[in-house]
Structure 1
């Protein structure tokens, strides 16, 4: 008898098959003497659409709402139905005795496999492969310690409950809003609070009134001093007259040093990466969207096998990983990392609670390198960037602290306090891993996210000064500025807000706030990128540069949607209950009953609400399919025309953002299509037809493809060492 291994993706299935010595290819599976390996393509099965329960639900009609299935049905996803039937064929083979679930080790991975088994009606015994990387070593060790599949039943119940609850609230509320206001309006328990956070920030920016502030600096004893408010330590004053009077009174005066403080300080490396922290840094550094970073990480995990499981919310590793650290370091001891790794390999590895803590490891530990040998030349440029972030962070936590001596000088003149700061680096420690390479500039690690007056006190080299010394003031300068509104969200800062939405809660309930912190905020590390993408694709938010703005459609939706659905508290409550279901502390049936009651209340509130929706982006362009006027909308990387009739659904792209750079200002240009001709257009006014662009790029030598380069390099390798020139040199006789 054989075991059937069910993986989540074909690439992982091929790796498992190779390790298990399975080589016989069949439709949708690979067979060996003891195992058959098959795979899903992500989800093959999902919850049935409303019309599968009753044909009348095909019509979007308010009178049919709420839709509350008595018994949940599953349906095969049409696009991947062929692979589902391949998997089902293998499940019911007579020589298959048991099923080994090898999908991603997490809530959604469990759901992928269990739904396939449920839909097919397969009740054979199940075992679970639970691994954090897909290296050969990890797979072999995982198969030596397979778990009883029943241990993960509660994880499956939690995943199923999440999907069913989202179906009940999301589909019913979306249909109710769309029918009531005759516009395509979608909402959900995570995306709507996220949209509300963006709207709140926009409101703060619009209502902000800038205030002018003033400061004063002077030079005395070759040191730049800043005036400081003795009461609150601020370097600003909002009274111009006070600063100008102080400027006058300082002329011809001397500063008397009142205090000299020297202190040795240490800063330790930032923690290891979880997915959200990695997405934040990738957005700040490279402008990658959260979804792009996740996709790149998946490739580094599945195809290259050089990094561990990406969808993790932990920034710690367990004590079981510590013995493997040196092996992982050896695997990435290449290229730019050779400067830092050998010294770590020579000495015993020093660990601390700062990154090794079994209690803080959830389903998966932090993102770290695997023991797989790395080949940088096989990575794309984007993959290399993400890999570099993870490796430098991993190396840095093993290095000592950054040590420096902080000197703070205090002085007085004209009855006012002045301060100056200086820093002497004693040991670069972990910062050497970043500062040694401009490609891995560490400034993004320290820069403050908000405007902070104390940040403005400059660090400078200071001479040796003593308390009581008097210094003549040689220069005086009045400084001025204006207070700034809070910055608009980027994808990096929006991820932070989703992870820690407590400050956006209206409720002052300490228990609710604590609950939101414990459940990890809005969404999970695995879903936040998709939520942001969905807001873009629904045209509820748009991007200008790197900033995220709410659209008119988004603002109107928040006015029409029930108040409860906009609050972060709702999703926190759900996640806490789902977490309890996964632990076996709460029943899934009870949770679903509560969600059904909530859905009834929600639909009743939408039905009886007063409100209107108005399209303020109508154009005079008629839809070629139904003849109605089309809407002009901004997608994430394109401008589109979309039919206002949701049932028609016609859309066309009129301009899309390209990777081509303007020869004048070097910004990315848009491609605009008119008829058969496509034209590059830049915001600076530069225009160039696509045909002319191609000719120009060919002249510049940009027409060479990667394949051409690879063929050229291959040819160089194949050329004999003893070429004609070498032979000619060999025949020269030199007298000695």
Structure 2
């Protein structure tokens, strides 16, 4: 943005760049001592300008063409439209999925050790019920003889440091925060509190020049519950290794880590504490040694059939000490669960008290949450219908659909445009409007392949191998083609969510839509644009099931409603809050509380916050 302003102002003086990843006094002073020549980044600037202009030409013109052609508020773009298509494809997979029943066998010994049957290929499931029935009948209650005990010493290293996308995924999975909300919290921790480094990074590694600053960062964040852990790391010289220090994997900014700045933990909000805790623990974890354990696999024979049991003994907690050994590894999908194994020798006979058939059903793929959608946007290659491996590799290497800095806004825009929605939980559904949009837009705009083609050319511009003017001319011509295709379309757009209410401004029927925070009535006339809240999800909790209550109605007739069936008038809510709080709660306090639920925190940076208080003539 700064380069663009300099360009438009026709400044021709030499430029130096301040390249820093945190805004502490020390980082800024060090940055000014090592200013970088602006000429080194000319091609990178050209690439950024080309990307921005291309997105603007296509997004603006295609959106306007769709909106005027079908008289509905329809948006499209090279990132948001493929994202909607990915959600639609998952919805189709779920709809067309046909569950199958699978079968297995479990044997239980007299001392409650569970043994799982495996076929010669190592599979513990079979879709052939008759085969499993026959095996169970043949085995009866014969005893098992241990024919193999395998012991393996294993190591598990800490997960990599956070980039923005991984942090957004974890915050959504653990706390239910949206991608946008996590970015806003991170921005405050970076700019206002100055305790974390630059958030909009796509790297999960540190550059080698950061290693010397690690002790100071540990001392800064090593307070309160982190003190003992930080002191353990500081007790020995810090050894960097390729698992978290790799210059080749750091482009613009390194992974998100604590700064050397003073931490005033008491000034953090609850949400800021939670995000800070994630980053600090991940930072500490990579500096701890590996988690070491011995995996024990026991194989036994019952008649001619193989049965297996698995367990492990922890040798050294390593980095899992940071998480108090509660860190959950990714699910493997393996039926063989680890258990505490008794002392057993090879050749030993195990007394079997039960052999039973087990069964289950295959499950459809899960609907996207914001966490899993971020993953799909980061690596959308499996959603591409192309045989061009170079395109797929380019998309993977350039970070997928959108950037770490834009994905949160894209997802938020899809919700606010009513192309996708949530229905009470974390799961994301495509709306009828989203479905119809995919039917109305040109085919190319729905595929991540278009982004891959662009990224190949933008990469060439960044390396100085392609002029940005050539690329922008191509984009202008492409924009003319898709606008022409939309204008000549004979397809129709149909509102299927028309309510019985009329717009108070223009009199046309209103549309009922599910906004991100509740139901809304929206005028179907794009030029009118009238909107009205019907209900909204609040932070007030149901006294019976503890889920968030939905507030419906207006004025004195407002009522809280829960999915479990609980209902409570606003007046009763006020009385209950007063009784539970043991103090006075007037209507103004309640209305202020409810108003907070409607508002989102402003996405202001430190400069905007400073300018906000100024008065201009």
TM-score, normalised with respect to structure 1: 0.77
1:537 corresponds, among 416, 431, 441, to: 416
Instruction: Show the 5 A alignment for 1:104-503.
Output: 111=1, 113-120=2-9, 125-220=14-109, 222=111, 223-231=113-121, 233-435=122-324, 441-443=326-328, 446-448=329-331, 452=333, 454=334, 456-503=335-382
Query: What corresponds to 1:613 in structure 2?
Result: 493
Counterparts of 1:360 and 1:704, CA distance in 2: 57
Counterparts of 1:578 and 1:300, CA distance in 2: 32
1:528 corresponds, among 386, 407, 411, to: 407
Shift of 1:555: 0.6
Counterparts of 2:505 and 2:386, CA distance in 1: 48
- Relative to 1, partners in 2 of residues 1:676 and 1:333: Cα closer, same or farther, differing over 3 Å? same
Residues 384, 448 of structure 2: 8 Å contact kept: yes
1:96-137 Cα offsets, whole Å, 9 max, x none, are: xxxxxxxxxxxxxxx2x2333445555555432211100010
Query: What corresponds to 1:576 in structure 2?
Result: 456
- Relative to 1, partners in 2 of residues 1:287 and 1:703: Cα closer, same or farther, differing over 3 Å? farther
Counterparts of 1:417 and 1:221, CA distance in 2: 18
Deviating more after overlay: 189-198 vs 332-341: 332-341
Q: Secondary structure at the match of 1:434?
A: coil
Matched, 1:555 2:435: yes
Shift of 1:704: 8.8
Query: What corresponds to 1:714 in structure 2?
Result: none
Q: Secondary structure at the match of 1:604?
A: helix
Shift of 1:602: 1.3
Q: Secondary structure at the match of 1:320?
A: helix
Counterparts of 1:535 and 1:702, CA distance in 2: 43
Runs of 4+ in 1 over 4 A off after TM superposition: 118-125, 702-705
Query: What corresponds to 2:465 in structure 1?
Result: 585
Shift of 1:271: 0.5
Query: What corresponds to 2:524 in structure 1?
Result: 644
Counterparts of 2:77 and 2:311, CA distance in 1: 51
- Relative to 1, partners in 2 of residues 1:702 and 1:628: Cα closer, same or farther, differing over 3 Å? farther
Matched, 1:507 2:386: yes
Counterparts of 2:474 and 2:183, CA distance in 1: 33
Counterparts of 2:408 and 2:287, CA distance in 1: 30
Q: Secondary structure at the match of 1:340?
A: helix
- Relative to 1, partners in 2 of residues 1:702 and 1:356: Cα closer, same or farther, differing over 3 Å? farther
Shift of 1:509: 1.4
Query: What corresponds to 2:549 in structure 1?
Result: 669
Shift of 1:326: 0.5
Shift of 1:465: 2.2
Deviating more after overlay: 183-192 vs 406-415: 406-415
Query: What corresponds to 1:28 in structure 2?
Result: none
Shift of 1:220: 2.6
Larger radius of gyration: 1
Q: Secondary structure at the match of 1:468?
A: coil
Counterparts of 1:552 and 1:227, CA distance in 2: 46
Residues 251, 473 of structure 1: 8 Å contact kept: no
Counterparts of 1:149 and 1:695, CA distance in 2: 63
Counterparts of 2:330 and 2:553, CA distance in 1: 41
Shift of 1:349: 0.2
Shift of 1:702: 7.2
Counterparts of 1:631 and 1:658, CA distance in 2: 22
Counterparts of 2:465 and 2:259, CA distance in 1: 35
Counterparts of 1:614 and 1:206, CA distance in 2: 22
Shift of 1:695: 2.5
1:450-508 Cα offsets, whole Å, 9 max, x none, are: 8x2x1x31211112323333223111232211110000000000000001111111112
Counterparts of 1:655 and 1:123, CA distance in 2: 55
Residues 394, 455 of structure 2: 8 Å contact kept: no
Shift of 1:575: 2.6
Counterparts of 1:585 and 1:372, CA distance in 2: 42
After superposition, the CA RMSD in angstroms is: 1.8
> For this pair of structures, how many residues does the alignment match?
584
Counterparts of 1:431 and 1:298, CA distance in 2: 28
- Relative to 1, partners in 2 of residues 1:259 and 1:688: Cα closer, same or farther, differing over 3 Å? same
Counterparts of 1:588 and 1:627, CA distance in 2: 49
Counterparts of 1:323 and 1:118, CA distance in 2: 37
Query: What corresponds to 2:397 in structure 1?
Result: 518
Q: Secondary structure at the match of 2:289?
A: coil
Instruction: Show the 5 A alignment for 1:718-729.
Output: none
Deviating more after overlay: 289-298 vs 116-125: 116-125
Residues 141, 354 of structure 2: 8 Å contact kept: no
Residues 246, 414 of structure 1: 8 Å contact kept: no
Gaps of 5+ in 1: 1-110, 709-736
Shift of 1:447: 3.2
Gaps of 5+ in 2: 590-617
Residues 133, 305 of structure 1: 8 Å contact kept: yes
Counterparts of 2:584 and 2:471, CA distance in 1: 59
Shift of 1:178: 1.6
1:146-191 Cα offsets, whole Å, 9 max, x none, are: 2333433333322222221111111111112122222211100000
Shift of 1:234: 2.0
Shift of 1:145: 2.3
Query: What corresponds to 1:601 in structure 2?
Result: 481
Residues 329, 345 of structure 1: 8 Å contact kept: yes
Counterparts of 1:609 and 1:409, CA distance in 2: 65
